[in-house]
Amino acid sequence: MKQITVVCFIKNNEAWLDETIESIVTQTGIDFILIIVDGSIDKNTAELNEKKIEKYSLFNKRCFIIYKNIPDNHPAEGILNAIKIVTTKYITFSAGNDKYVKKDWLFAAVNILEENKNLSLVFGNVIHIDENSNFTYQPWPELYKQKPPTNEFDFFLFCISLNFMMFEVNYVVHLEVIKKLWGNKNYYKNKKIDLVWNDHPSLRFAFDFHNEGYLAKFFPYIVSAGRYHPSTSRNESQKIKNLNFVNLYLTEFKTLREKVIAQKSFTFKNSNNEVIFLELKSAKSEIDKYRIMYQIHFEKYENKLFSYLLKKYFQFLKFIKVNV
């Protein structure tokens, strides 16, 4: 019985598709499903992609491949489309230009989740690669110098201390949890969450996962590689929009930290929504400790946004002066 589905969403990244799929179908030790959701609007492109993928259908007997052409306007929408057709207990994601590094990552992640019923998600470290598949940098090198706490409740404090974000390419999560939190308009409406978050559900998911009291575990290995590709990156207006989302994200996490410190307790839950109440008497001291020990919280983005807007403002003043 297959317990996990890998969702690979592709659109305009076909140059790396072979490398990505090979890294998925060579995963060892586990039976799994690979659903490739192609967001291409052009039917000819979709047909070419499907033919390219066909050759992998017999590559690994433990991997069952499904191809779906579901046009989308954004990668987040592609993930939402895929979630609707997944039926396994666990789900993970890969863009068509990323790849897995650890060969038994799916096997290891599922085992961790099966052995600890409190956990709803497990994730490992990620490394970035460029367009030519050269390793460029590791986002969280300090996680090797000073390991995060292994206890899931302490790890919750670690995450809310550091505004910790989980990249979708390197986590495995219970399907029911991702269905509830990823761009779910009914959930947003009931929680009075602004629907503007539909444009950046990955950040919203990273916050809501902790805010809802779900528990995660960090797997101390590099499990995947995310590709940085400047030639196909989004335009400046999209980058500014993303920075605005980061600022919203930081504000939400600050509020959550203050809530936990004030209440000195928190209600956690597992993937079946079974409640676990826990007193957190030392929450403030633990949060302060993590913020001193680790340098991975994102407050620096606020200054970047301010500096950018200030620069544009002076450029505008110069333009007015020249054209008067």
- Is residue 231 included in any domain, yes or no? no
Question: Do 146 and 94 belong to one domain?
Answer: no
Average pLDDT over residues 72-87: 84
Are 157 and 283 contacting, i.e. CB atoms less than 8 angstroms apart? yes
- Provide, rounded to the nearest whole percent, the portion of the chain with pLDDT above 70: 88
Question: Do 138 and 209 belong to one domain?
Answer: yes
pLDDT for 309 equals: 55
| 9-61 pLDDT per residue, tens | 888 777 788 899 999 999 999 999 999 998 888 888 888 888 888 888 878 88
Question: Do 92 and 158 belong to one domain?
Answer: no
pLDDT at residue 321 tops 70: no
Rounded Cα–Cα distance for residues 40 and 72 (Å): 7
pLDDT for 73 equals: 79
Q: From residue 188, give the alpha-carbon distance in Å to each of 52, 135, 241, 282.
A: 38, 38, 20, 31
Domain C-terminal end among 65, 100, 135:
100
Range of the domain at 157: 123-225+236-324
Total domains in the chain come to 2
Q: Which residue has the higher pLDDT, 212 or 239?
A: 212
Domain C-terminal end among 49, 66, 100:
100
**Reported confidence tier of residue 153, pLDDT bands at 50, 70, 90:** very high
Question: Do 60 and 152 belong to one domain?
Answer: no
CATH of the domain at 76: 3.90.550.10
CB atoms under 10 Å from CB of 73, counted, come to: 10
pLDDT at residue 211 tops 90: yes
**Reported confidence tier of residue 122, pLDDT bands at 50, 70, 90:** very high
Question: Do 202 and 289 belong to one domain?
Answer: yes
Question: Whole-model pTM?
Answer: 0.86
Question: Do 196 and 240 belong to one domain?
Answer: yes
Phi and psi at residue 224, in whole multiples of 5°?
Answer: -155, 165
Average pLDDT over residues 195-209: 89
pLDDT for 302 equals: 47
Average pLDDT, the chain: 85
Domain C-terminal end among 51, 68, 100:
100
Question: Do 133 and 77 belong to one domain?
Answer: no
Question: Do 68 and 156 belong to one domain?
Answer: no
| 243-302 pLDDT per residue, tens | 888 888 999 999 999 999 999 999 999 888 899 999 988 899 999 999 988 877 877 554
Question: Do 81 and 154 belong to one domain?
Answer: no
